[in-house]
Structure 1
Amino acid sequence: MTPQEAQAYCTQLTKSSGSNFYYSFLFLPATRRNAMYTVYAFCKAVDSAVDEPTHGSEPKEELRRWRSELDAVYHGTPTWPIMISLAHHVRRLSIPQAYFEELIKGVEMDLTTTRYETFDALSLYCYRVASVVGLMCLHVFGATSAHAQDYAVDLGMAFQLTNILRDLATDAEQGRVYLPLEDLARFHCGESELLAKQHSPALRELVAFESARARQYYKKAQAALESLPRAERRALTVAEIMRAVYSRILERIEQPDHQIFGPRIRLSTSNRLALAAGVWVQSRFS
């Protein structure tokens, strides 16, 4: 497969995903947009190897094969479409191999860990499955300073905490409890309540506490962004679009009438595009 054919494969995979991120990618120049499609395709495929394994597949073996292909990206000749395209972009953008390795480690944690005793333990998971993706994206966006890295790490934490709060029902169905057990104990909320998807005042207090924690990471990301020179801030416009979308999801979770185990919160296409356009205009003319 040629790099062009591999790129077309990644682009189609991303477009068909329905991800909140897709609409932000549209605001990138074509070359950077193609790189972003490929990075997203890699992240999605690795995650699906564990969360949505194909019939008859063995997730651990699938991750081993992804690691082998990743080594080929940096030290040989990859053979999978996503990795052929990835090889083209990582060489041009100098994205460290360690970021992709950390992501695989994070996804692998879901094979062995269904509970996190402390927030520190959960933070490692969030860093691996979300913050390192932000660090990859910095190379695509062209802003890799130390403060930009702080921004990416904090924003990744905020995104993942938002995802955890949005997906409490789905995770409960899979027997997973991502909220730290120390926090459940603090609010006298039992694991059994979460797994049985039972509403309670204690659970609502717990969700409010975790929402405030996520909100703090959004604020830390904002502070890091404001410390950057204007050129770097503009380079991060796409990340800011993502922040607007996920902040809106968190706002829905924070509403008093939010159904914790209700339908999964989704923003309409028009809503996502409106948020994206608003952030883009502000970044260009503010």
Structure 2
Amino acid sequence: MAATTKLSLGVQYLLWGTKSSLSISARPTTPLLQFSRWFVQSSSKFPTPPKRPANAYIRYVNQKMPTVRSQNPAGPKQIVRICASLWKQLSDTEKQPYVNDAAVEREKYKSEYEDFKSDFTIEEWGEYQDSRRQKRRKLKNRRRREELQQLGKPKLPAHGYGLFVKEMLSGSSGNMAEQMKDMKGQWNNLPEAEKQKYMSEASKAKEKYEREMQVWEKKMEDEGRPELVRGYRPQKTTTKKKKPKKKTIATKVVRKTAATAKLAAKKKPGTLSSAKWP
């Protein structure tokens, strides 16, 4: 990567993995790609890409938020709404400096991203894109779980074996993997009468869960969230395509006769020429 990049303090903390032993003046000046190959999180084998710059509106909100927060002791959402209303009241001339700064940062980001991308081979770039899609999928699933938790969705209860493991692990310490192996054997060797106790408790919890889910799903339908209900299928709005009419023998004969007549009209007298199709 040819160009050097100044890292923000937050990105620098992320790459170094510490927040106490680093000062702003001691910030490394090596290129982002080379620097990030050594100081990335251990969960990823790929370098950290350049950070996408904020647009004009976000730049204005970040600049205006401290002033609005000092004048309006409200929550974060309310402060953002106030900043959004102030942005709408600005004229095009007042918005232009933020638009220009965002355009400059966007061009700089494009150059850095091209340098970042050029360091990969085709195979590495494919693996990198796959890892990005997997991370986005995990993030989407996590946000969905958090949303369902905020909406009060009942938690799926454990089955019989899960209740047995929970009881055995309560208050225990040591290697969890070894304990799980031992518990699997203990569960298999457990008498049926003992297993039935856990299975009965799990069955009661499942019945309670079903009752709570019915109430919760009814609430979601009333609040206009039917997509969260089990078995929901969205209505198809696409129109059916008309099937083309089947060609009959009579239609084929008529078309063949018309094509022959057309070719005969184009043929010059006294010459032998074959049919030419477009």
The TM tier, using the shorter chain, reads under 0.3
TM-score (norm 1): 0.25
Normalised by the size of structure 2, how large is the TM-score?
Answer: 0.26
Greater Rg over alpha carbons, structure: 2
